[in-house]
Amino acid sequence: MKPTKASVLSAILASVCCLGPVVLVAVGLGSLGIGAFLGRYHWFFLGGAGVILIFAWRVYRKEKVRCDAERCQMESRPGVLTALIIATAAVALFAGLNVYTYVGDRAASSAPETKSAAGKTNIERVTIPVEGMVCFTCELTVESSLKRLNGVLSAKANARGGSVTIEYDPQKVFIGQMVEAINRTGYRARSPAEEK
């Protein structure tokens, strides 16, 4: 496999678990559960992308050394090098975003499970446990599914904490509806009442 093709393949592989669920949500297909499937295996996608990228760099380097020794012109050297650099940046970006999910400052709200939101009447806050979220795109998928519900004012998912904190109007939406919306994305949510 040529380095250019390998670098493109590695960038696609690294992005499928990160951009795939976001694209599905954007086109209204987030409820298929594909995001949860991809999320479960995101480190395999990133690892595979890294292996392919290392292979592409080695092939490029080997060809460069051979051409330098024989004083020949490497076929489209700038294009290959550009493709490798862009693919390396893409893989590093997606890996970094996934690492940020675990070490970043996207901590869950420290609010009690259900309470009235500060200064607003008829607005409540609930924290719902969610299993299966592993990266920032999982968080986006869950948040997006909830924000589509009439009565949900805000949703903040936390993959590291395995939960989503929601501010909602209890006269317009019920906790059961929010749990169902999350479950339709392929992640497993439970009502806070089940946790007690």
Q: Please write the tens of the pLDDT for every residue from 107-155.
A: 444 344 444 445 556 899 999 999 888 777 788 888 988 999 999 999 9
Residue 152: predicted pLDDT: 95
* Any domain includes 82: yes
Is the pLDDT assigned to residue 195 strictly greater than 70? no
Is the residue at 49 inside a domain? yes
Given 73, 103, 133, which residue is the final one in a domain? Answer: 103
- Whether residue 73 sits in one domain with residue 146: no
For 147-176, what is the mean pLDDT? 93
pTM, rounded to two decimals? 0.64
Cα separation, 89 vs 110, whole angstroms: 35
- Backbone dihedral angles phi then psi of residue 74, each to the nearest 5 degrees: -75, 135
What proportion of the chain, given as a percentage, has pLDDT over 70? 80
Q: pLDDT-derived band of residue 77, with 50, 70 and 90 as boundaries?
A: low
In terms of domains, do 20 and 55 share one?
Answer: yes
Classify 124 in phi/psi space as left (phi over 0), alpha (psi -120 to 50) or beta.
beta
